[in-house]
Amino acid sequence: MFKKILVPTDGSALAQSAASIAAQLAKSQGAEVIGVYVIDPFPYIGMGEASAVGLQSYLAESRSVAGQALEALGKVCAAEGVPFAGDTIERNVVYEGVIETAQAEGCDLIVMASHGRQGMKALILGSVAQKVLTHAKVPVMIVKG
């Protein structure tokens, strides 16, 4: 039924739970897992040399965290014997990066974690999972924390 499963990750324990479920599902379906880590753009726009140094430092740290998160996802897939490929992308809006990756990779399912925020926290912080669920053109499985 599913051939390519996209698993967005932020490296959190909750994302690892989603990764485990996705890997088990992929194994049962004979599918592969595509991992993605979306880096938010540099949060400060300034002028001068300090801005360039800050940008480079931010991107280096973000890529390091992304690499660790994708490596952990890859290990979960390897333990299940599931093919895995991961990528890090940079987008202004995280949920759009997830949806773009699903389309570009030809994924037919997205499995992702949600913190399950409600009320004012959800309104203020927003929910990447909610936005992916609303805008994705493929099925989305949400793993709640």
Q: What is the mean pLDDT of the chain?
A: 88
pLDDT tens readout for residues 104-125: 999 999 999 987 655 555 544 4
For residue 30, what are the CA distances in angstroms to 5, 36, 73, 75?
A: 11, 20, 17, 17
pTM recorded for the entire structure:
0.88
Query: What range does the domain containing 57 cover?
Result: 4-144
Q: 33 versus 144: which is more confidently predicted?
A: 33
Local confidence band at 127 (pLDDT 50, 70, 90 cut-offs): confident
User: 105 and 119 in contact (C-beta within 8 Å)?
Assistant: no
Burial of 38 (0-12, 13-18, 19+ CB in 10 A): buried
The domain tally of the chain equals 1
Q: 73 versus 52: which is more confidently predicted?
A: 73
Residue 118: predicted pLDDT: 57
CATH label of the domain that carries residue 79 = 3.40.50.620
Residue 125: predicted pLDDT: 46
